[in-house]
């Protein structure tokens, strides 16, 4: 007879928040027993074998040490897709779904095949979510990190989107041919300022620093992306960028300075000014 505790007592004695303990124990059950999450309730008397018990303890400890749940599970849901994630890529955030929605709205308006550029794609989240939701779209997704591109390409393959999502390696527009022209440019660049204390807190401590901060004011990557947009947008084309909740005014000023028209600030679900967009003149 196993001396290991039941699922019920593992959950009740864990120092993790209850929802995280359930997610992580469900992962162990799935991996070692191919059981669905509902087994946490329907089989709550069950005890883990020694191997699974040891894995639970190690996973619980990793989370207690602050490692993000998404890195432990190796995956994260985003918009209508699931992405593989690992320490080389930023974990996709729900607020970034706003960029996807803006792109889908624009695609619906254009009502024709649409070419989209996703600068700094990380796990591929934005490009792949748009491609998955819109068969009308073809995307080029860039990253300066080879590790990120490998993960993004793997995600494209798993989601069977490799025919409409291409990848290119390099920093911002340096990754793409100079004569490219897009209907939409999207980006969630590193926008946290160098000295921001959040960089030393929570999940951010485990994420690639180059995906989070420009190591300066927080606006330098946004500036480069905004100033290059005119060259790479078709007439009337749309650029939409994610930024910090307190950067909207500065980002709109950059867009105006870059000669872009029709600047708009978009709110995320928490009511924060999270994305700004503008257009190239017709």
Region of 89 please: left (phi>0), alpha (psi -120 to 50) or beta.
beta
3-state secondary structure of 106: helix
* Angstrom distances, CA of residue 193 to CA of 74, 118, 268: 28, 22, 20
C-beta closer to ligand GLN: residue 90 or 125: 90
C-beta closer to ligand GLN: residue 121 or 134: 121
Rule CB under 6 A: say whether 56 interacts with ligand GLN: no
CB atoms under 10 Å from CB of 19, counted, come to 9
Stretch that binds ligand GLN, among 59-67, 124-132, 175-183, 189-197 (CB under 6 A): 189-197
DSSP-derived pairing of the beta strands 182-187 and 233-242: parallel
Rule CB under 6 A: say whether 124 interacts with ligand GLN: no
CB 275, min distance to ligand GLN, A: 11
Rule CB under 6 A: say whether 93 interacts with ligand GLN: yes
Rule CB under 6 A: say whether 122 interacts with ligand GLN: no
Stretch that binds ligand GLN, among 72-80, 135-143, 188-196, 248-256 (CB under 6 A): 188-196
Rule CB under 6 A: say whether 190 interacts with ligand GLN: yes
CB 219, min distance to ligand GLN, A: 11
Binding-site member from 125, 192, 219, 251 for ligand GLN (CB under 6 A): 192
C-beta closer to ligand GLN: residue 48 or 219: 219
Rule CB under 6 A: say whether 88 interacts with ligand GLN: no
CB atoms under 10 Å from CB of 193, counted, come to 19
CB 280, min distance to ligand GLN, A: 23
CB 199, min distance to ligand GLN, A: 9
What distance in Å separates the CA atoms of residue 132 and residue 159, rounded to the nearest whole number? Answer: 8
User: How is residue 279 annotated by DSSP?
Assistant: E
Rule CB under 6 A: say whether 266 interacts with ligand GLN: no
Q: Return the residue matching tokens 């017709």.
A: 282
Buried/exposed code over 91-118 (b: 16+ C-beta within 10 A; e: otherwise): bbbebbbbbbbbbbebbeebeeebbbbb
C-beta closer to ligand GLN: residue 93 or 266: 93
* Angstrom distances, CA of residue 211 to CA of 11, 43, 218: 34, 41, 11
* Residue 111 and residue 232 in contact, taking contact as beta carbons nearer than 8 Å: no
Residues numbered 199 to 238 that lie near ligand GLN (CB under 6 A) are: 204, 212
C-beta closer to ligand GLN: residue 60 or 242: 242
Residues in contact with ligand GLN, counted by CB under 6 A, come to a total of 10
Length of the chain: 282
Binding site for ligand GLN (CB under 6 A): 90, 93, 188-192, 204, 212, 242
């Amino acid at each position: 007879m196993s001396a290991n505790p039941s699922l019920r007592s593992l959950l009740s004695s864990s120092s993790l928040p209850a929802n995280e303990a359930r997610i992580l124990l469900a992962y162990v059950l799935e991996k070692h027993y191919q059981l669905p999450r509902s087994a946490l309730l329907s089989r709550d008397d069950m005890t883990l074998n020694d191997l699974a018990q040891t894995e639970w303890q190690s996973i619980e400890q990793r989370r207690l040490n602050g490692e993000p749940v998404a890195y432990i599970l190796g995956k994260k849901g985003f918009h209508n897709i699931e992405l593989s994630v690992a320490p080389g890529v930023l974990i996709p955030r729900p607020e970034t779904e706003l960029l996807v929605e803006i792109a889908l709205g624009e695609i619906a308006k254009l009502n024709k095949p649409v070419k989209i550029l996703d600068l700094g794609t990380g796990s591929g989240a934005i490009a792949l979510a748009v491609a998955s939701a819109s068969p009308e779209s073809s995307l080029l997704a860039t990253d300066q990190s080879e590790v990120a591109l490998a993960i993004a390409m793997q995600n494209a393959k798993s989601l069977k989107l490799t025919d409409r999502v291409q990848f290119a390696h390099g920093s911002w527009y340096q990754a793409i041919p100079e004569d490219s022209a897009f209907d939409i440019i999207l980006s969630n660049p590193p926008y946290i300022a160098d000295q921001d204390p959040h960089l030393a807190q929570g999940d951010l401590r485990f994420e690639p620093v180059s995906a989070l901060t420009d190591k300066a004011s927080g606006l330098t990557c946004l500036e480069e992306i905004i100033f290059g947009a005119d060259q790479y947008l078709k007439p009337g084309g749309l650029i939409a960028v994610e930024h910090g909740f307190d950067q909207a005014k500065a980002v709109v000023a950059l867009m105006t300075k870059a000669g872009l028209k029709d600047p708009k600030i978009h709110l995320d679900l928490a009511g924060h000014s999270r994305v700004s967009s503008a257009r190239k003149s017709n």
